[in-house]
Structure 1
Amino acid sequence: MAVARQLAPAWHHDATNLLTRRYWRGTWMRWEGSYWREMDDQEVRASLYTKLEHALFIHITPKGEEKICNWSPTKRKISDLMEAISAVTHLRPAVDAPEWITRDGMSRDSDTSNTHGNDSPIVACTNGLLRVADRELMPLTPGFFNLVSVPFDYDPDATAPTWEQFLKGVWPDSPESIAALQEWFGYVLSGRTDQQKIVLIVGPTRSGKGTIARILTNLVGKGNMAGPTLAGLATNFGLSPLLGKSLAVISDARLAGKDGHQVVERLLTISGEDTIDVDRKFKDPWTGKMPTRLMILSNELPNFGDASGVIARRFIVLNMQVSWLGKEDTDLTDKLAAEMPGILNWALDGLARLEKNGHITEPPGSADAVTTMQDTASPTSAFVRECCEKGPTHEVLVDELWDAWKAWAEDQAVRHGTKAMFGRNLQSVVPQVKRTRPRGDDGKQIPTYSGLGLKSYARNGESPDSTRLNHGSESLRRAETGLSPLWAQHENSPKCAGCGFPFEPVEPGQTKHPGCAAA
């Protein structure tokens, strides 16, 4: 510890006297002038060996005499010294970047410095800390604990005409998509994670997905970007490359196999600002909230297996339809790189609009794409939307709903599974549904779902897309014969001349269900 105290003055910023080296969440961090960078253990060891290779110290002999000795660094001494330095430079794990900190590693409670809540976010540039609200440029300081810094100066007069023209070519008829991308760029720069959204860009080959990803990478700095795969996220150490990264770009997204549920779980955890344990090779696990924003590029909507369909609602989908295949501008990236200060101003305008509106703009078609993804991930969700009604006044027999689900699943060519699995999936899609057992007229208990009911066309064997719902199921026969009060409302309804069950005629003089084959 005495040696650590001797070395500590070299880790202080001259102007502010704040530490430029910190030990945070089991990781060494070093201030690089405009942002904090993670240091590898071996890098710390190498610097200590170099600094102490010829160090001397005063040794007091048993006789009280002073003797000059070589400190002679060894593996054991360096390991003990690193332990002591971690105590001297400790930064509380509760600190979440970006955040202002004081010398002792506590948060600063100041209206002008707090980047959370309703206060304006701060973007670190190479020439200062830019406050987005009023575009004021403040001095760079290690007191601002940030992991992201744009690798160029802030220029308030810079513009990006080539970039804006490129985006108009990508979305010629959708200014909302351009606005959403602009807000996303600013959101990534700000270090915020409160929107809990993932951007999904879907488009054909050579439609500009890669160009957008490269420009955003240049904007945040290549050292702040990770490029994982969806399958890689499910592996034991799959999240470790994302530590300390503000952006993760998943290109050519493909998801298949048994690890799909684990991928969904990790996407939900990262985007949802939840605390997670991250395994790291040859290191203790890292615990905290990951500051990484996720952007996925794909030629088609990915299929996420999620019974609740929650993952689909995390996405902002940007659809591309224009392709430059065979007409590529090979110099476009270089042209856009020259406009980075102007693109920064463009992104800051998007961040200001996001601050004002409170949410990222949803482009036309995004909601439909999200619904499609939700239906693909959770067929139960699609069944409920198409065939059911929700509300406290609705109820339906368990067997009746099960028969309707089986017929719908057969028509949609999906597995209907078991009744227990369907009940579990139904509970995740409609949490307010309760399973009860009311007694019928004969005193027998009948399993019933309350809070959910079948739409009239579903009861009658019809569907907007299908005529295969089984209106002649055994559960309906038992209901019609008086076993349940649920069908009392149908006492005065027209009865099918073929099967005898209630139905709603759609044509004058109609006496049977459409397609009824009963004798």
Structure 2
Amino acid sequence: MSATIDKDNVVEFPRAVGVPKSEMHAFVGNAVLDYMRSQGETLVNGKGGAWLYSHGVWELRIDIDAWLGMRIEKVCEGLGITNTNKLTGEVRNRILRSPELWREGNIPWDQHGKIPTRSGLVDPRTGELEPARPDHFCTWRIEVDYDADAKCPWWEMMIADMFGDKGRDEQTALVRVVQECMGAALIDKKSRALSKALVFWGIQNLGKSGPLDVVTGLFGGAIAAPIGSVEGTHGSMPFRKRLPWVLHEAFSGAWHFSSVVKSIVTQEEVQINVKNGPVLTQIVRAPIFWATNSQPQFKEATRAIVSRMIVIEVSRKFDDAHPIGTAAEAIRKGFSKPGEFIVATELPGVLNWAIAGLRMALERGSIETTAGIKATADAIHRDSNLVAGFLEECVEFDPMARVRVSDFCLAHSAWFMELKGEDRRMPTNDAIGKALKAVGDGRIGIDPKEMRDNRSRYYCGVALNQLGLEYHRAALERRLFEGKTAMATAPDREVNSLIPASWDDRESIKAMRSCHERVTDERPVSPKERDA
């Protein structure tokens, strides 16, 4: 006997006449499941907790006991049964232990590869629409109805005006970068090359908040947890929900990302300690959209975080007293901000605009970039890795050369003090070595066992250039770093030296020289070199 719904949408329950008291909890439990099915609801239970499917979306129910208790009470009323705490507990335990509802292993949440909307799932390549089913395992959706014909002229004007001080080609390219980033945020099943954090960097009154307001409206909300709050015991709880992580001022000159923030940015597994609930281990797939008045800064020796970010420098300044374009139209229509105007009037069109960006990114296999974005990423990396800038300015590559570790670190320390040392602690030789290793350039030989003699350790494949030698000389002559000069080469001797022929058969030397050959073979040849 099952619960049914008549033509007036009234739920009718079977009667409990003749049901033995010992079987009442089973009878009520089946009636609860029947009632849920009649409402389009489904429940699955597993190691990660209880998940409820309703209106096309699955949700982890932390309050499952209270939620089921309410459903049990409603069904008992419909059955004409006087409910008790004992009966509620027995029914709830039967439902949660039901083999029919139990799922072993990992459930493929949000791996359908399509865009979940209020209208259903949209195929990003064809635009075809289909209803969302329980077996799609959607845990989120775009809070917009899909309209394939919708346009967004004011949004397109707003995003173009944001880069209105650039040349036409650069402006078009930057708009496309934003379009593809917003498009890639619409799906979870994608390559790492499509999983990028978008950061707008620039001073105030540059229109950075408008796009963030539109992203928040498109997804029906946002995670606003400050970067510094995520490391707390329950700091990662907001990331249970798949919403964009939107911060209007992400950086404040801080140089430390917690391990949890790094894992979220690089999409590694994190633990989410749910208050009064389970501890979940999952990859956070929240798309990241940040703005900042300060240059993005963090201590990160590798390029792991930099490579996951697209940082766009914004320089078009707007005058609040003389609004233009979409901002002027928003005021005319009674809205306080242009983003608010777009959210109220053009979200279906913005969705189509973002889908077009997703289609371009999928065809290319990556998010588009520009020379300016790449230059910004390189600058951030130089500032994040202790030695990246030093290598660029003070070192030359030579497969036959070597330099003592003590000399390399001494020159680096003088360089670091001049450029960065005013408000940062002077790095130790060990920290410099770790940063050099993290650069990951195979042309730099750093093997501590093979690249040494009976007196010193060496970095091979590199030599200090003229500027590097000047920093080395200054550090010695001015006695800037007494603790680092004991093993340094005297100013009247050669700092750079040749790798001894007796080292040629060492595996680390052969591997280093092989990398030099590969880079040389891949380097474009100039007309002057070709003629020679």
| Shorter-chain TM-score above 0.5 | yes
Number of the residue aligned with 1:51: 74
Write the deviation string for residues 190-215 of structure 1: whole angstroms up to 9, x where unpaired.
22453342111113323222221121
CA separation of 1:249/1:406 partners in 2, compared to 1, >3 Å: closer, same or farther? same
The alignment yields a C-alpha RMSD, in angstroms, of 3.4
1:31–1:45 CA distance, 2 compared to 1 (3 A)? closer
Displacement of 1:170: 0.6
Tell me by how many angstroms 1:394 deviates.
4.7
Match of 2:117 among 119, 125, 140: 125
Q: CA deviation at 1:284?
A: 2.1
- Is the 1:438–1:446 Cα contact (8 Å) retained in structure 2? no
Deviation at 1:236, TM superposition (A): 1.8
What letter corresponds to residue 234 of structure 1 in structure 2? E
**Aligned match for 1:417, one of 422, 427, 432:** 427
SS in 1 for 2:315: coil
Residues 483/161 of structure 1: CA separation in 2 closer, same or farther (3 Å cut): closer
Amino acid at match of 1:475: A
Matched with 1:112 is none
- Check if 1:351 corresponds to 2:373: no
Distance 1:191 1:439 in 2: 46
Which residue is 1:219 aligned to?
218
Post-superposition shift, 1:351?
A: 0.4
Tell me the secondary structure at the aligned position of residue 490 of structure 2: helix
Q: Is contact 1:159–1:343 with CA below 8 Å preserved after alignment?
A: yes
Alpha carbons of 1:138 and 1:254: their partners in 2 closer, same or farther (altered >3 Å)?
same
**Which residue is equivalent to 1:457?**
466
Matched, 1:291 2:285: yes
- Corresponding residue for 2:415? 408
Cα 1:202/1:125, change in 2 over 3 Å: same
Q: Give the Cα–Cα distance (whole angstroms) in 1 for the partners of residues 60 and 139 of structure 2.
A: 9
Assess if the C-alpha contact under 8 Å between 1:255 and 1:304 holds in 2.
no
SS at match of 1:37: strand
Q: CA deviation at 1:137?
A: 1.3
Q: Does 1:253 align with 2:275?
A: no
Secondary structure class of the residue paired with 2:282: strand
Describe the shift of the 1:221–1:382 C-alpha distance in structure 2 as closer, same or farther (beyond 3 A): same
Structure 2: distance between partners of 1:188 and 1:290:
13
Q: Is the 8 A contact 1:33 1:141 kept in 2?
A: no
Structure ranking higher in helix proportion: 2
5+ residue gaps, structure 1: 58-68, 100-114, 116-120, 489-519
Which residue identity does 2:407 align to in structure 1? E
Contact 1:199 1:294 in 2 (8 A): yes
**Residue equivalent to 2:33:** 8
Alignment of 1:197 onto 2:207: no
* 1:139 maps onto 2:145 in alignment: no
Structure 2: distance between partners of 1:289 and 1:339: 32
Q: Deviations over 1:349-378 (max 9, x none)?
A: 000000011111113422222222222222
Shift of residue 387 of structure 1? 2.1
Which residue identity lines up with residue 45 of structure 2 in the other structure? Y
Which residue is 1:507 aligned to?
A: none
Superposition map of 1:319-468 within 5 A: 319-327=313-321, 328=323, 329=327, 330=331, 331=335, 332-337=338-343, 338-389=345-396, 393-414=400-421, 415-430=425-440, 432=442, 433-436=445-448, 444-450=454-460, 452-458=461-467, 460-461=469-470, 468=474
User: Residue in 1 aligned with 2:269?
Assistant: 275
> Within 2, Cα distance between the matches of 1:374 and 1:239?
26
Q: 1:293 to 1:80 in 2, by over 3 A?
A: same
Q: Distance in 2 between matches of 1:471 and 1:487?
A: 29
- Contact 1:205–1:299 under 8 Å retained in 2: yes
Measured against aligned partners, the alpha-carbon deviations of 1:143-186 in whole angstroms (never above 9, x if no partner) come to: 21112322232211111111111111111222111101111111
CA distance in 1, matches of 2:399, 2:71: 68
Query: Could you say if the C-alpha distance between residues 363 and 180 of structure 1 is closer, same or farther in structure 2, counting changes exceeding 3 Å?
Result: same
Contact 2:115-2:122 at 8 Å conserved across structures: yes
Identity of aligned residues (%): 18
Q: Deviations over 1:306-347 (max 9, x none)?
A: 233532222101222123342453423343121111111111
Q: Which amino acid aligns with 1:26?
A: G
Aligned equivalent of 2:102: 90
TM-score (norm 2): 0.73
Q: Measure, in 2, the Cα distance between the counterparts of 1:247 and 1:234.
A: 18
Q: Quick one: which amino acid aligns to residue 227 of structure 2? A: L
Q: Does 1:152 align with 2:152?
A: no
Aligned to 1:239: 236
1:35 paired with 2:57, answer yes
Determine helix, strand or coil for the equivalent of 2:204. Answer: coil
What is the CA-CA distance between 1:257 and the residue it aligns to?
6.6
Distance in 1 between residues matched to 2:451 and 2:376, nearest whole Å: 43
**Structure 1 residues 38 and 483: CA distance shift in structure 2, 3 A:** closer
1:168 maps onto 2:153 in alignment: no
Give CA deviations for 1:80-123 in whole Å, capped at 9, x if unaligned: 346325x5433455234213xxxxxxxxxxxxxxx4xxxxx311
Distance in 1 separating the partners of 2:364 and 2:225: 31
For structure 2, the 5+ residue unaligned runs are: 1-24, 479-484, 502-532
Secondary structure, counterpart of 2:185 in structure 1: helix
Residues 17-43 of structure 1 show CA distances to partners (whole Å, capped at 9, x for unaligned) of x96233365243333323323333165
CA distance in 2, matches of 1:479, 1:398: 18
8 A Cα contact 1:23 1:90, kept in partner: yes
Cα shift at 1:484: 6.6
Asked whether 1:316 is paired with 2:316, we answer: no
1:475 aligns with 2:481: no
Whether the 8 Å CA contact 1:252–1:298 is kept in 2: the answer is yes
Give the TM-score taking structure 1 as reference length: 0.75
Q: Give 1 or 2: higher strand fraction.
A: 1
Match of 2:205 in 1: 206
Count of residues paired in the alignment: 442
Write the distance in 2 (CA, Å) between the matches of 1:160 and 1:487.
67
What SS does the aligned partner of 1:316 have? strand
- For 1:187 and 1:402, the matched residues in 2 are separated by 43
Q: Do 2:143 and 2:218's aligned partners in 1 also have CA atoms closer than 8 Å?
A: yes
Segment drifting more, 46-55 vs 167-176 = 46-55
